[in-house]
């Protein structure tokens, strides 16, 4: 079976099942369940897989809404896994298809990162590959990993820590985006930790001398951390949110206050170093204010390790399939949505940081397009670029050779985690992108069963990297994902 034949098989399967896949993506859009609460979404997807003959293991990695679905034909190896996400974000409810911001449910959550599309495309790919294994009598296992809490939960990093990916040979994923490109770049590793200060409450005017302010400690900690910025590598980022100010009355010395820190850098070793220094600053702030600090490790993830063998394999398939084709009506909707994006934000594309020199030129030429109709070029030099964001796919990529792509499912120049992103997630724009991604991923997965030597080469590439820099899961043993705030 050559590449064209396997693409045709997968494409036919996805198109024959278009209605079913679209319906699942729409249902998950409506569920809009936030991290660790994806009960309906994970139940829906796992049920479809179970009905298709996959065996299901639920609650993996100590996460209620995580699961593994597996279908084997003739042998258990190789194991090709599709990663699915389905979590939404708070406060991003949006009436789908509307070119202005309007919540469908006031203060409700919404799919501001398109994970209703993400999880459904991976489902389509897994189902299509299962059919191909039977039809062409190929040996091996196809798996679907139901991965909760990508948004601020690092679900996959906990799953990797707990050995859930130990027998996987290749992992395949995608992300909805405004543009089409292979994800060949690295991302930032991160650690999130909460600093909870405990002081002594008192009347702020009548007895201030007996009070010990936890809020003072938070403020002093932040001042100290801001001074630290000068003395860390220039690519380190850290941000904080005061999650508990201790109360609303200035007349009370605040006995409790909390601040949440998110620390990022290109390598987890650097993040660990900065985390230790910030923790010392917190202890210093506690000492200064006569308070006590409790540090709670929240979550972490490693940087993404692109795999060139797999990326070029997927890139070949992506180019043979072409970009998703959008019609005049879809372009007209995107044009309206794009009008809401401030001019200053149009200068910077979601994919800008992923582009090689050739891609940069294409970006400039396409600056007025409302929907993408082209694929940015991929080259191994992309591995030297870093996207200033983080993903928990990072930890999977250190354990298993991993590949992912971005497929146009949203208006160009929109940013993730905005209503503009949410609004196309249930329209034909998003659904078209979703089905296209299912075809790319499914064909990539199938090609690995047909040419298993690609898996061997991809593993050798990963082994070579991890021999130079061994992987260590960034989440300490004992940190429970269910204790996240």
What's 325's DSSP letter? Answer: P
Burial 284-303 (b: 16+ CB within 10 A, else e): ebbeebebebeeebbbbbbb
CA distances from residue 363 to 178, 347, 381 in whole angstroms, order as listed: 12, 10, 18
CA distance 422 to 215: 36
Interface region with Zn ion, contact rule CB under 5 A, candidates 94-102, 113-121, 330-338, 344-352: 113-121
- CB 300 → Zn ion: shortest distance, Å? 17
- CB 150 → Zn ion: shortest distance, Å? 6
What's 206's DSSP letter? Answer: T
Report CA 85 to chain centroid distance, whole Å.
Answer: 8
446 φ, ψ to 5°? Answer: -60, -40
Question: Do residues 31 and 40 make contact, with C-beta atoms less than 8 angstroms apart?
Answer: yes
Q: Which is nearer to Zn ion, 71 or 86 (CB)?
A: 86
Q: Which is nearer to Zn ion, 151 or 194 (CB)?
A: 151
Interface region with Zn ion, contact rule CB under 5 A, candidates 109-117, 139-147, 240-248, 380-388: 109-117
Interface region with Zn ion, contact rule CB under 5 A, candidates 106-114, 215-223, 236-244, 251-259: 106-114
337 binds Zn ion (CB under 5 A): no
Q: Which is nearer to Zn ion, 289 or 409 (CB)?
A: 409
Q: Which is nearer to Zn ion, 113 or 173 (CB)?
A: 113
305 binds Zn ion (CB under 5 A): no
Burial 444-473 (b: 16+ CB within 10 A, else e): bbbbbbeebebbebbbebbeebeeeeebeb
Q: How crowded is residue 363: how many other Cβ atoms within 10 Å of its Cβ? A: 16
CA distance 123 to 49: 8
Q: Which is nearer to Zn ion, 225 or 300 (CB)?
A: 300
Q: Which is nearer to Zn ion, 113 or 293 (CB)?
A: 113
Q: Which is nearer to Zn ion, 69 or 88 (CB)?
A: 88
- CB 115 → Zn ion: shortest distance, Å? 6
String marking each residue 63-102 x if it binds Zn ion according to CB under 5 A: ----------------------------------------
- CB 467 → Zn ion: shortest distance, Å? 31
- Give the residue closest to Zn ion by C-beta: 113
314 binds Zn ion (CB under 5 A): no
Interface region with Zn ion, contact rule CB under 5 A, candidates 105-113, 221-229, 276-284, 308-316: 105-113
- CB 107 → Zn ion: shortest distance, Å? 21
Question: Do residues 449 and 169 make contact, with C-beta atoms less than 8 angstroms apart?
Answer: no
113 binds Zn ion (CB under 5 A): yes
Burial class (CB in 10 A: 0-12, 13-18, 19+), 183: buried
Sign of CA pseudo-dihedral 420, 422, 426, 430: positive
CA distance 60 to 57: 7
Question: Do residues 35 and 149 make contact, with C-beta atoms less than 8 angstroms apart?
Answer: yes
CA nearest neighbour of 395 among 124, 71, 61: 61
Q: Which is nearer to Zn ion, 410 or 447 (CB)?
A: 410
Size of site (CB under 5 A) for Zn ion: 1
Q: Which is nearer to Zn ion, 10 or 113 (CB)?
A: 113
Interface region with Zn ion, contact rule CB under 5 A, candidates 96-104, 111-119, 201-209, 262-270: 111-119
Interface region with Zn ion, contact rule CB under 5 A, candidates 108-116, 180-188, 271-279, 470-478: 108-116
Burial 135-168 (b: 16+ CB within 10 A, else e): eeebebbbbbbbbbbbbbbbbbbbbbbbebbeeb
Q: Which is nearer to Zn ion, 78 or 152 (CB)?
A: 152
CA angle 97, 33, 45 (to 5 degrees): 90
Interface region with Zn ion, contact rule CB under 5 A, candidates 24-32, 93-101, 110-118, 194-202: 110-118
Where in 236-275 is the site for Zn ion (CB under 5 A)? none
- CB 112 → Zn ion: shortest distance, Å? 9
Interface region with Zn ion, contact rule CB under 5 A, candidates 107-115, 203-211, 322-330, 422-430: 107-115
- CB 151 → Zn ion: shortest distance, Å? 7
Q: Which is nearer to Zn ion, 113 or 405 (CB)?
A: 113
CA nearest neighbour of 20 among 37, 44, 39, 38: 44
- CB 386 → Zn ion: shortest distance, Å? 17
Strand partners of residue 404: 173
- CB 329 → Zn ion: shortest distance, Å? 26
Q: Which residues bind Zn ion (CB under 5 A)?
A: 113
């Amino acid at each position: 079976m050559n590449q064209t034949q396997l693409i045709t098989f997968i494409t036919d399967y996805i198109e024959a099942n278009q209605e079913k896949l679209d319906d699942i993506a729409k249902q998950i859009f409506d569920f809009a369940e936030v991290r660790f609460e994806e009960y309906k979404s994970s139940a829906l997807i796992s049920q479809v897989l179970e009905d298709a003959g996959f065996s299901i293991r639920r609650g993996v990695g100590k996460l209620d809404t995580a699961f593994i679905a597996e279908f084997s034909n003739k042998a258990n190896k190789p194991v090709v896994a599709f990663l699915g996400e389905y979590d939404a974000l708070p406060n991003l409810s949006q009436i789908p298809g509307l070119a202005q911001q309007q919540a469908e449910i006031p203060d409700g959550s919404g799919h501001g990162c398109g994970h209703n599309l993400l999880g459904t495309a991976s489902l389509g790919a897994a189902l299509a590959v299962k059919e191909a294994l039977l039809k062409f009598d190929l040996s091996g296992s196809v798996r679907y990993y139901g991965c909760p809490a990508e948004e601020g939960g690092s679900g996959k990093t906990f799953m990797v820590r707990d050995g859930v990916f130990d027998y996987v040979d290749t992992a395949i994923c995608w992300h909805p985006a405004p543009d089409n490109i292979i994800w060949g770049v690295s991302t930032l590793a991160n650690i999130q930790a909460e600093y909870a200060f405990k002081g002594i409450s008192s009347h702020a005017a009548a007895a201030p001398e007996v009070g010990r302010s936890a809020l003072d400690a938070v403020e002093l900690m932040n001042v100290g951390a801001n001074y630290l910025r000068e003395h860390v590598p220039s690519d380190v980022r850290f941000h904080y949110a005061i999650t508990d100010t201790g109360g609303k009355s200035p007349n009370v010395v605040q006995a409790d206050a909390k601040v949440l820190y998110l620390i990022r850098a290109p390598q987890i070793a650097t993040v660990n170093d900065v985390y230790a220094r910030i923790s010392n600053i917190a202890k210093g702030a506690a000492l200064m204010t006569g308070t006590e600090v409790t540090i709670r490790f929240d979550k972490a993830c490693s940087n993404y390790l692109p795999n060139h063998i797999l990326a070029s394999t997927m890139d070949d398939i992506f180019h043979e399939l072409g970009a998703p084709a959008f019609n005049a009506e879809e372009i007209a909707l995107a044009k309206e949505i794009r009008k809401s994006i401030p001019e200053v934000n149009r200068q910077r594309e979601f994919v800008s940081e992923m582009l090689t020199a050739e891609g940069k030129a294409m970006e400039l030429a396409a600056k007025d397009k409302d929907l993408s109709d082209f694929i940015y070029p991929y080259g191994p030099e992309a591995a030297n670029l870093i996207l200033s964001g983080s993903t928990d796919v990072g930890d999977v990529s250190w354990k298993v050779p991993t590949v992912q792509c971005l497929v146009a499912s949203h208006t160009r120049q929109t940013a993730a985690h905005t209503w503009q992103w949410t609004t196309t997630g249930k329209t034909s724009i998003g659904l078209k992108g979703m089905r296209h991604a299912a075809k790319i991923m499914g064909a990539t997965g199938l090609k690995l069963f047909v040419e298993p030597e690609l898996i061997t080469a991809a593993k050798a590439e990963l082994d070579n990297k991890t021999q130079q820099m061994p992987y260590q899961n960034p989440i300490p043993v004992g940190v429970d994902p269910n204790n996240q705030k």
